[in-house]
């Protein structure tokens, strides 16, 4: 499965089968996490037994049922942390999708129960529920390209493909509070219009844009 196919297949899944993830896939996820932690200066951790990370009270509030496993998104704390978590965390989400797993980014979770290792100078930003879904989720309601683009003149094909993939990105409460600006020199700016966890969103959006545009920006 290509990354584009994974983007199109992925939807947040909030109801999971109790089945554990097989050892072979755990190993694949851990290899991917190792690679992403190195490039992103992060400390993402796959916690096989999610325990009470998503407890009953939270389930009632968010509708996210208990997933068998969880990824704790931890990293060296500086002003780029949230965006790095979003960018590299989404690479992991798309990888998980490509090996048949389902996920849901979750800002609402029990930080004490997750059992993550958080070293000095690090912060735990967010969680990602992971496992086999009872369903595959469904496409989210989306803004149209004109609502998120700032560009003068002609828009190159790669830019439009990038925007198309960015609009399929998960964002907190589906807020899609970002603008993608195409500058005259064809450089790109991602503009944060605020909102809850919007810097994590922006990292995720950048990840999707680059995959669609087939270039680093």
Tell whether residue 165 is a contact of ligand FMN (CB under 6 A). no
CA 163, CA 166: separation in Å to the nearest integer?
A: 5
Tell whether residue 130 is a contact of ligand FMN (CB under 6 A). no
CA 163, CA 210: separation in Å to the nearest integer?
A: 9
- Residues 184-203 as x/- pattern, contact with ligand FMN by CB under 6 A: -------------x--xx--
Tell whether residue 72 is a contact of ligand FMN (CB under 6 A). no
> Cβ closer to ligand FMN: 10 or 32?
10
CA 83, CA 89: separation in Å to the nearest integer?
A: 9
Touching ligand FMN, residues 145-164 (CB under 6 A): none
Touching ligand FMN, residues 31-70 (CB under 6 A): 62-64
Minimum CB separation of residue 204 from ligand FMN in Å reads 6
DSSP string, 43-86: --EEES--TTSS-HHHHHHH--PPPSEEEEEEEE-STTHHHHHH
CA 145, CA 160: separation in Å to the nearest integer?
A: 8
Q: Residue 183 CB: number of other CB atoms within 10 A?
A: 11
Minimum CB separation of residue 63 from ligand FMN in Å reads 6
Tell whether residue 171 is a contact of ligand FMN (CB under 6 A). yes
Stretch that binds ligand FMN, among 70-78, 103-111, 146-154, 187-195 (CB under 6 A): 103-111
User: Which tokens belong to 46?
Assistant: 């796959």
By C-alpha distance, which of 170, 172, 178, 146 is closest to 62? Answer: 172
Query: Would you tell me which residues interact with ligand FMN (CB under 6 A)?
Result: 11-12, 14, 62-64, 104-108, 126, 137, 140, 170-174, 197, 200-201, 204
């Amino acid at each position: 499965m290509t990354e584009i196919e994974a983007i199109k297949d992925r939807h947040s899944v909030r109801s999971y089968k109790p089945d554990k993830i097989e050892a072979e896939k755990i190993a694949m996820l851990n290899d991917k996490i190792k690679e992403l932690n190195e490039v992103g200066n992060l400390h993402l951790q796959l916690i096989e037994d999610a325990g009470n990370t998503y407890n009953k009270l939270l389930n009632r509030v968010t509708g996210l049922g208990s997933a068998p496993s969880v990824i704790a998104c931890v990293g060296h704390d500086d002003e780029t942390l949230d965006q790095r978590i979003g960018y590299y965390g989404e690479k992991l989400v798309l990888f998980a999708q490509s090996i048949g797993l389902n996920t849901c980014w979750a800002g609402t979770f029990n930080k004490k129960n997750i059992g993550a290792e958080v070293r000095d100078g690090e912060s735990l930003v967010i969680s990602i529920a992971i496992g086999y879904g009872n369903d595959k989720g469904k496409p989210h309601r989306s803004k149209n390209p004109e609502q998120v683009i700032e560009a003068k003149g002609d828009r190159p094909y790669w830019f439009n493909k990038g925007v198309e993939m960015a609009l399929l990105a998960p964002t907190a409460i589906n807020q899609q509070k970002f603008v993608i600006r195409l500058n005259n020199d064809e450089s790109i700016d991602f503009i944060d219009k605020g909102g809850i966890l919007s810097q994590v969103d922006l990292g995720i959006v950048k990840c999707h844009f680059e995959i669609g545009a087939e270039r680093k920006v």
